[in-house]
Amino acid sequence: MNDIESQIRRLPLTLHPDPKRVLLRPFIPSLIVRPLSCLEANPRIVHLFSRLMQMSDEAVDEKLKGVFAEFDERHQHIHNIFEERYRQIQSILPTDIDLSESRRLLIGAYFTNEYSLESSALFNPSIVPSPDQNGISAGELKFVLSLRATGEGHVSSITFRSGVVTSDGDIRMDEVSRFVNQPRPMAAARYDRKTFQRKLQEINVEHSDAMSCTRDLKESFSIGELIEMVQKMSTTAEEPSTRRAAERALLLAQANYSVSFPEGLSMSEKILFPYAPTESNGIEDARFVKFCEDDGSFNYYATYTAYDGNVVLPQLVQTRDFHEFDISTLNGPAVMNKGMALFPKKINGRYAMLGRQDGENIHLMFSDHLHFWYDSRVIIRPSEPWQFVQIGNCGSPLETRAGWLVITHGVGPMRKYSLGAVLLDLNDPSKVLGRLKKPLLRPLPDEREGYVPNVLYSCGSLIHAGKLILPYAISDTSTRFAIVPLDLLIESILNG
């Protein structure tokens, strides 16, 4: 064990996945849970609806009473959710007659199911200072912790926890609610045609097709207008490539959206569940950062990986308050892989970000536009046996007086993941000032077992009261915390 590793304090706190935290999701018989439900009528839907319509009013009331008795205490506003679910599927049901409230609610219940968000894992944490620092003692810091929650079908989402870091570097977690809520889509966004055409080309749509499939759109258009255009193109476009481009345009628009949570929810009651088709197989590894804008105000950004089962798509989340969230695509050849991590402020007037574009080295990239990234360069390669397979970042760089502190992960023999650290120059982060030769953290014997054995991983840490607060995942299953003396860590990095 090296000197710095012996000085690290692992807290006796583990965040375990809790299968009791369930979300009400749309259910279509015979389909695995996915973010978007198929709204096409199929024989099983028709058969189910026919059986429900044959029930007497008395039988409907009795069955609905039993559903509420069994599930009402497990969810908030379950009555409203059943009513909303009925409205969502009403268009595919083979009737247009007015139904009683009880029958509508029971139909809604049959097309709803519980989804256990954390039944498999609660891991890959990222931590940032909370936007609300009221109600704490001197020397304390409120934080927001994001985690990757994985449930049935290995679908991942972003869940949140909150707590306080004390002046001594201890962690006090807030109580976790039994309930979870999805946000609601906000008013339809409008898209700038020129920017949209540029984004289309970034996802490999030919220039001529991008221009052809959007030429009839206004300079500023809504997704409704885009849907009308796609429907028109499906029958009028002469070139198949133009029709395919129109379909890609719709997918691109759906990947850029805004959502907001109801008022009064605690942080643990909020869940960002996959919403767009590009996220249908999950939202993975959000790396949150508190970003200082040019005017001194702060935004929270997070990069994450959207996965539809075939294609990995880097996405960007923006929020000021963890109440409203804007989700958009990252574009350009420099962001065509996983593990993007934004610096917490511009460097020499430009956005800066780390990535692992080639799958094994840490890259640095700069851009004048937050959503477009064109060039990257390798700045850190695997150099020690414990990282020979690959090296990557474990979240956004942290600013210190000595330089940008980057927590890294390295993969060695038997695909064992360990954490390391690197220091980059503040004004020119392409300059590596030093790096640990030995791991900062390695899996302990009781951290080796889990969904993916022998893995330590993190998506973001913070600095408070002279200490590095480092949440980390153990074997892709649960989450722990380590407290690292900052000065000793920097000294160890600079001394190699």
Domain residues for 38?
23-115
Which pLDDT score is estimated for 135? 93
Last residue of a domain, one of 238, 254, 270: 254
pLDDT score recorded for residue 192: 87
Q: Which two tokens stand for residue 22?
A: 């369930």
Tell me the H-state helices in 181-304: 193-202, 207-214, 223-236, 240-254
Residue 91 reports pLDDT greater than 90? no
For the residues 339-345, what does the mean pLDDT come to? 96
- Residue 203's pLDDT band (cuts 50, 70, 90): confident
Residue 221 confidence (pLDDT) above 70: yes
* Range with lowest mean pLDDT among 31-35, 232-236, 287-291, 360-364: 31-35
Domain check: are 328 and 466 in the same one? yes
Structure tokens at 172: 């006090």
Same domain, 336 and 424: yes
Residues in the chain: 496
The stretches of 90-215 forming alpha helices (DSSP H) are: 101-110, 193-202, 207-214
Contact criterion met (CB below 8 Å) for 313 and 307: yes
Contact partners, residue 287, CB within 8 Å, separation at least 6 = 126, 302, 303, 304, 340, 341, 342, 393, 395, 396, 459, 460
Of 115, 130, 146, which closes a domain?
A: 115
Residues 340 and 417 in one domain: yes
Is residue 331 pLDDT above 70, yes or no? yes
Number of domains in the chain: 3
The answer on pLDDT for 191 being more than 70 is yes
What 3-state class would DSSP assign to 194?
A: helix
Q: 32 falls in which pLDDT band (50, 70, 90)?
A: very low
CA distance 309 to 282: 8
pLDDT of residue 86: 94
For residue 70, give both structure tokens.
């069994």
Q: What percent of the chain has pLDDT over 90?
A: 70
Are residues 330 and 250 located together in one domain of the fold?
A: no
- Structural contact between residues 23 and 119, judged by C-beta atoms closer than 8 angstroms: no
Q: 190 pairs with which residues across the strands?
A: 222
DSSP string, 38-104: --S--HHHHHHHHHHHTS-HHHHHHHHHHHHHHHGGGSSSHHHHHHHHHHHHGGGSS--S---HHHH
Compute the average pLDDT of residues 479-492: 97
Quick one: 102 and 205 in the same domain?
Answer: no
**Whether residue 135 is found in the same domain as residue 227:** no
Residue 41 sits in the same domain as residue 180? no
- pLDDT for res 30: 59
**Confidence at 469, pLDDT banded by 50, 70, 90:** very high
CATH number at residue 442: 2.115.10.20
- 40 pLDDT higher than 80: no
Report whether pLDDT(187) > 70: no
The residue with tokens 């380590």 is: 482
Give the per-residue pLDDT at 37. Answer: 44
Average pLDDT, the chain: 92
The dihedral built from the CA positions of residue 429, 434, 438 and 440, taken in this order, carries a sign that is negative
Query: Is residue 64 within 8 Å of 102, Cβ to Cβ?
Result: yes
Question: Is the model more confident about 417 or about 252?
Answer: 417
pLDDT at 453: 97
| Stretch among 43-52, 54-63, 284-293 having the lowest mean pLDDT | 43-52
Report residue 128 CA to chain centroid gap.
15
Contact of 287 with 341, CB cutoff 8 Å: yes
The pLDDT, as a whole number, for residue 31 is: 54
Alpha-carbon distance of 351 to 375, in angstroms, equals: 12
Which is more confident, 314 or 116?
116
- The residue from 70, 95, 115 where one domain ends is 115
Same domain, 54 and 179: no
What's the CA gap between 157 and 8, in Å, rounded?
30
Report the phi/psi class of residue 225: left, alpha or beta, with left for phi > 0 and alpha for psi in -120 to 50: alpha
Q: Does the structure show a pLDDT above 90 at 482?
A: yes
269 and 317, same domain (yes or no) = yes
CA nearest to 290, candidates 211, 337, 218, 343: 343
Amino acid at 164: V
Asked whether the predicted pLDDT for residue 154 surpasses 80, the reply is yes
Are residues 106 and 125 both part of a single domain?
no
Neighbouring residues of 1: CB distance < 8 A, sequence distance ≥ 6: none
Does 238 share its domain with 292?
A: no
Does residue 341 contact residue 422 with C-beta atoms inside 8 Å? no
Band of pLDDT at residue 35, cut at 50, 70 and 90: very low
Domain shared by 322 and 216, yes or no:
no
